[in-house]
A and B are shown apart, each in its own frame.
Chain A
């Protein structure tokens, strides 16, 4: 049976993230951090490598975070989280949650082998990767998940030439307990997926798409609506994988019924970072999306038959 979906009024009123932190105005990560901590609660230890989240958490002696955070080196997030879990086990503590929360650079590039090792060992941790598609807090350098054609500080002519890695698929290939994708435009979906993941034993992974106004070169106020466009145009797909079974989440599942998806050019044109793309490039991205969704529709009809 499907668990009841959380509504805005059901969310915990207590705030675990304080205002006046160092996050940029309109930060998508900040939205998910706030709502995510409501699902995680105070009985948790967060393990965070260098990332925008470290910047948000702030400098000694004040932090915005009401939950305990352990700051670790870039490459060691999942390994350090495994160690925290082992320490808790030695204390016979099975109630405190261990949550690793890293950026796309710390997950897709620098922390990938520690992540892969921890999934393979089946560590009982939740790993959340917030994906703003570049190394944002150091000044927008390309990362492994930066999409093709994006202008960054070190792909400033013609944009990035390579495709972005699909980290959720890399993780899913390890067959962990739970894999899900989320977006800052759907914080309640993120909240429910965290709650579900934390109710499970074993390794859980959540990949969250978070808009970054300075890095994506857009106005702060449209951050959430642009993140929503990524989902409604079918470019970024929200799903969960349990026991090897993939299921589209509600915002993406709605697209299955549509004959034609809204053009992805809407999403690209709202941001300055895609301005190096030619109309032909955008057409080829649109074709990839259409092929991907044709595949989903076939899977769903064959599953129903």
Chain B
């Protein structure tokens, strides 16, 4: 059997986001970061990033003002629990208007 024939028989997946769809729709509570308390945002220097370290879903950015990708964030709240200065609060999704979601 030639290699090309085998290719038809194997099912290799391609790496990419959103295998389970837009998992942000699973979310009940939305993480909101208060940059006045967030260590790297306040000091302007890369530091802390516990939210990035502990995020199970790769949705927090390792930037001076960490951003959360709400398309995929499942809202587990581990970032809010682990944030040393307590800069992240979990807010009910129903509190946000369609305007905020745009």
Contact = CB atoms under 8 A, between A and B. Distances in A.
Interface in B60-79: 62, 69, 71-78
Of listed A24, A59, A62, A219, residue having the most chain B CB within 10 A: A62
A110 interface: no
Given A8-B48, A34-B58, A20 B15 contact: no
A221 B19 contact: no
B20 to A, nearest CB: 4
Interface residues of B, number: 41
Contacts of B80: 221
A221 B83 CA distance: 11
A221 B78 contact: yes
The B interface is mostly helix, strand or loop, or mixed, namely loop
B18 A20 contact: yes
A58 B76 contact: no
Contact of A8 (B20, B53, B58): B53
Nearest to A64: B19
Contacts of B44: none
Nearest to B60: A19
Given A8-B53, A221-B90, A19 B23 contact: yes
Interface in B40-96: 46-50, 52-59, 62, 69, 71-78, 80-82, 90
A22 B20 CA distance: 5
B77 A26 contact: yes
Interface in A36-72: 57-66
Interface of A: 8-9, 11, 13, 15, 17-28, 30-31, 34-35, 57-66, 187-188, 213, 219-225
Given A25-B27, A64-B19, A222-B81, 4 more contacts: A19-B57, A23-B57, A26-B78, A58-B20
16 contacts: A18-B19, A18-B58, A19-B23, A20-B23, A21-B57, A23-B56, A25-B26, A25-B76, A30-B56, A58-B13, A60-B11, A62-B16, A220-B76, A220-B78, A221-B78, A224-B82
